[in-house]
Amino acid sequence: MNIKGMLVAMLTGAALATEPIDTDLLFLGQGLYIDQCQRCHAADGSGPSTVDIRGFEVDDIKMALQGFEQMPVFDMNEKEIAALSVYLNVLEGTRQR
C-alpha cells in the first residue's frame, strides 16, 4: 500500500475512534515517523526485522528513544513524542487482524 492509501485507511479508521484525532499532531507524527523510524520499522510500523511499534504510547516511546540494542538514541521534545504516539496509534488501527 502506498503512503496516500495508508493515510486514507488511517483517517477512515480514525473516524471510527472514540476520540477525535488532532490532525496537526497526526501529520507531525507522520513526518517524524518517515524521517526517523520508517527505515527500520517499515512503512506500517510492523518492523518485520525489528520491534512492531504500532500502538506505542508516550511512555513506550520515551523509553525507546533512550536507545537499546539496535535502537539508536533519539532526541525528541514532548510535542514530537505526543505526535509520534498519535501516528503510531493510528497505525495500530490499520493492523490486519
Instruction: Find where cell 479508521 sits.
Output: 13
CA 22 – CA 81 distance, rounded (Å): 14
Q: pTM of the full predicted structure?
A: 0.77
**Closest C-alpha to 41, from 92, 58, 33, 23:** 33
Give the sign of the dihedral formed by CA 34, CA 39, CA 44, CA 50: negative
CATH topology of domain 3-93: Cytochrome Bc1 Complex; Chain D, domain 2 (1.10.760)
Per-residue pLDDT tens listing for the chain (97 residues):
555 555 555 555 554 556 788 999 999 999 999 999 999 999 999 988 889 999 999 999 999 999 988 899 999 999 999 999 999 999 998 765 5
Enumerate residues 6+ apart whose C-beta is below 8 A from 19.
Answer: none
Residue-level pLDDT at 9 = 55
